[in-house]
A = this chain, B = another copy of it.
Amino acid sequence: MLKIGLDAMGGDFAPEAAVKGAAMAVNETGEDSRIVLFGDEERIRAILAAENCNTDKIDIVNTTEVIEMGDHPAKAFQQKSDSSITVGFGYLAKGLIDGFASAGSTGAMMVGSMFAVKPIEGVIRPTISTVVPNAKGTPIVLLDVGLNVDCKPEVLCQYGLIGSIYAESVLKIDNPRVALLNIGEEETKGNAQAQAAYALMKAESEGGKFNFVGNVEASHVFSGKVADVIVCDGFVGNTILKMVEGLYQINKRLGVDNAFWASMNYENAGGTPVLGINAPVTIGHGKSTPLAIKNMVLSTERTIKSHITAKLQNAFKA
């Protein structure tokens, strides 16, 4: 039995979009999987009924509060103790669900990740990553994409290991190529942070921790030619993500229509996994549609099945 927790009240179009997404996902999850919805039970049941959803594999945990986008994340997480996010994290911390996903307050999701689930021992700073598509049609893990905007080199180096384990266990990429995003290919290129991170990553790679292939320039982020895992600080990673989102929107208006750009649609991304904490957590886009929610539920299921938490705990064991 595997239980995927989903915040039914999270996102701009909740609970409708979230519950509809769950109804779509339930047809595609594994036989042993159940979806556990946290939220207003009455409203959830009404939406499920309207969708003619078979609820055999759906559980509902009734909650009476919602953390709003305008709420202070840390305060709201504590004060709204019967909110869908707070209760969801309570279930996750107790092992009553195996993973938790929400398109609600990113801040509250991070508070839950850091204080209810907690960082894995040995991980300096957990990270949020994104799986970006590329021109070869394979996935690339990009991390960090916005959580740590002032990364020490040691943190970037750990992201190499975290990304490598994610790529191998969740994305099933064999011996993933890990690269450091930099402004040149040579070892001596880059700012002080990148130069120091390069040296650390090279040493870790020589110690067999992961397969470091050196620097990757941004021209190759979407080519897939150089790397399967791309490490950068959260300021740069977030900039890359937002830039491609902006170009995606421009292309859409211009009528550009091909598989590469279609794959850039955030609805397919399956949300942003929080990595380096003691349970699978996925954060979705605030404007998530039912399709985006469905993919987030399925990617959370894949993450749970990959046993990545145990693998990370093991890798960071002193």
Pick from B235, B246, B249: contact of A236, CB under 8 Å = B235
- State how many angstroms separate the Cβ of A218 from the closest Cβ of chain B: 4
Q: Contact size class for A?
A: 35 or more
Interface residues of A in 193-219 (CB under 8 A from B): 194, 217-219
Q: Please name all residues of chain B whose beta carbon is closer than 8 Å to the beta carbon of A219 when the two chains form the complex.
A: 242-243, 245-246, 249
Q: Please name all residues of chain B whose beta carbon is closer than 8 Å to the beta carbon of A258 when the two chains form the complex.
A: 254-256
Interface residues of A in 223-248 (CB under 8 A from B): 223, 233-236, 238-247
Q: Please name all residues of chain B whose beta carbon is closer than 8 Å to the beta carbon of A217 when the two chains form the complex.
A: 242, 246
Q: Indicate whether A235 sits within 8 Å of B146 (C-beta atoms), given known contacts A218-B242, A246-B221.
A: no
A254 to B251, CA, bound (A): 13
Q: Please name all residues of chain B whose beta carbon is closer than 8 Å to the beta carbon of A46 when the two chains form the complex.
A: none
Q: Please, which residue of chain B has its CB at the minimum distance from the CB of A191?
A: B149
Most chain B Cβ neighbours within 10 Å, of A190, A194, A251:
A251
Per DSSP, are chain A's interface residues mostly helix, strand or loop, or mixed? helix
- State how many angstroms separate the Cβ of A253 from the closest Cβ of chain B: 7
Q: Does A250 contact B (CB under 8 A)?
A: yes
A247 to B218, CA, bound (A): 10
- State how many angstroms separate the Cβ of A292 from the closest Cβ of chain B: 17
Pick from B183, B238, B247, B254: contact of A247, CB under 8 Å = B247
A156 to B139, CA, bound (A): 35
Q: Please name all residues of chain B whose beta carbon is closer than 8 Å to the beta carbon of A183 when the two chains form the complex.
A: 146, 149, 234-235, 238-239, 242
Q: Please, which residue of chain B has its CB at the minimum distance from the CB of A257?
A: B256
Q: Please, which residue of chain B has its CB at the minimum distance from the CB of A181?
A: B239
Interface residues of A in 115-163 (CB under 8 A from B): 135, 146, 149-150
Q: Are A218 and B235 in contact (CB under 8 A)?
A: no
Q: Are B242 and A240 in contact (CB under 8 A)?
A: no
Q: Please, which residue of chain B has its CB at the minimum distance from the CB of A235?
A: B191
A143 to B254, CA, bound (A): 27
Q: Please name all residues of chain B whose beta carbon is closer than 8 Å to the beta carbon of A149 when the two chains form the complex.
A: 183, 190-191
Q: Are A150 and B243 in contact (CB under 8 A)?
A: no
Q: Does A89 contact B (CB under 8 A)?
A: no
Q: Please name all residues of chain B whose beta carbon is closer than 8 Å to the beta carbon of A233 when the two chains form the complex.
A: 191
A233 to B260, CA, bound (A): 30
- For this complex, 13 residue pairs linking A to B, each with C-beta atoms less than 8 Å apart, are A135-B250, A190-B235, A191-B235, A218-B238, A218-B239, A219-B243, A219-B246, A219-B249, A223-B250, A236-B236, A240-B243, A243-B243, A255-B258
Please report A residues at the B interface, Cβ cutoff 8 Å.
Answer: 135, 146, 149-150, 181, 183, 190-192, 194, 217-223, 233-236, 238-247, 249-251, 253-256, 258, 260
17 further A-B pairs in the complex, CB-CB below 8 A; given A135-B250, A220-B246, A254-B260: A149-B183, A149-B190, A150-B191, A150-B192, A217-B246, A218-B238, A218-B239, A219-B245, A219-B246, A222-B247, A223-B246, A223-B250, A235-B236, A239-B239, A244-B247, A255-B258, A256-B258
